[in-house]
Chains A and B, each alone.
Chain A
Amino acid sequence: MSQANWAFNFALGYFVPPAFVSIQWRTYVIFGVFCIAMFIHVFFMFPETAGKTLEEVEWIFENETEGLKYIGIPAWKTTNTRARILDIERRSDGHLGDEEKSTDVAEKQVERT
């Protein structure tokens, strides 16, 4: 299972030149179809993790109430929460994560989830 990237690149080195000999331009179609498969895979299975704390990302997978049963929140319903995190950082005055010095109530609430 490890080094799968190297293994597949090695296999490509054996596969691609004979493919160019036999099916010529259709080799590009094979890789184009792989790209479309990547698109579908990301759309359905990759949740958005930008602008989220560790606990929020874990909550995406463990959320039984708002999401599906063994999957959590579906990937296409997750969004980039960058604006909220930036706002918390700005309001905490550089003391983000500091229990005593931080004056922001919302930030303390985020830490407790």
Chain B
Amino acid sequence: MTVPALLYVDRWGRRPTLLVGAAFMAIWLFTNAGLLGSYGTHVPGGIDNIAAASTSITGPPSKAVIACSYLFVASFAPTWGPVSWIYPPELFPLRVRGKAVALATSVSY
């Protein structure tokens, strides 16, 4: 999913890529929240005694939850993933670029 970014991010521009990516990621996350809230049942103590797996969901909504989780990662990979690396080097003038990009990488590696 990074390959479309490699090919098209210059044509799309940095801002539209980031904005569209953030919007899609938010959509899939809220969809997941809604599906689990409406169709899931709370399992006290967790499934198979794993406390963090606290919601049980079956049938078509469970497939939708899987699909939305996949689509969340699929909308991160061409947008925020590569542009996070492309954008800091473009931003800084040549004098400070080395140190600035080093800082950016140390914060965001």
Task: Identify the A interface with B (CB < 8 A).
Answer: 1-6, 16-18, 20-21, 24-29, 31-32, 35-36, 38-39, 42-43, 46-52, 54, 57-58, 75, 78-80, 82
Contact, CB under 8 Å: B18 / A28: no
Contact, CB under 8 Å: A24 / B42: yes
Tell whether B62 is near chain A: CB-to-CB under 8 Å: no
* Also in contact, A39 and B15, with CB within 8 A (given A2-B106, A2-B107, A28-B36): no
Contact, CB under 8 Å: A35 / B25: yes
Residues in A whose Cβ lies below 8 Å from that of B15:
42-43, 46-48, 75, 78, 80
Secondary structure call for the B interface: helix
Residues in B whose Cβ lies below 8 Å from that of A58:
93
Residues in A whose Cβ lies below 8 Å from that of B26:
32, 35-36, 39
Residues in B whose Cβ lies below 8 Å from that of A36:
22, 26
List 14 A-B pairs, Cβ < 8 Å: A16-B52, A17-B51, A24-B40, A25-B37, A32-B29, A35-B25, A39-B22, A42-B22, A43-B19, A50-B90, A51-B13, A57-B91, A78-B15, A82-B11
Secondary structure call for the A interface: helix
Residues in B whose Cβ lies below 8 Å from that of A57:
90-91, 93
Residues in A whose Cβ lies below 8 Å from that of B87:
46, 49
C-alpha gap A46/B54 in the complex (Å): 39
Contact, CB under 8 Å: A49 / B14: yes
Contact, CB under 8 Å: B33 / A42: no
* Also in contact, A54 and B54, with CB within 8 A (given A39-B26, A42-B19): no
Residues in A whose Cβ lies below 8 Å from that of B106:
2-3
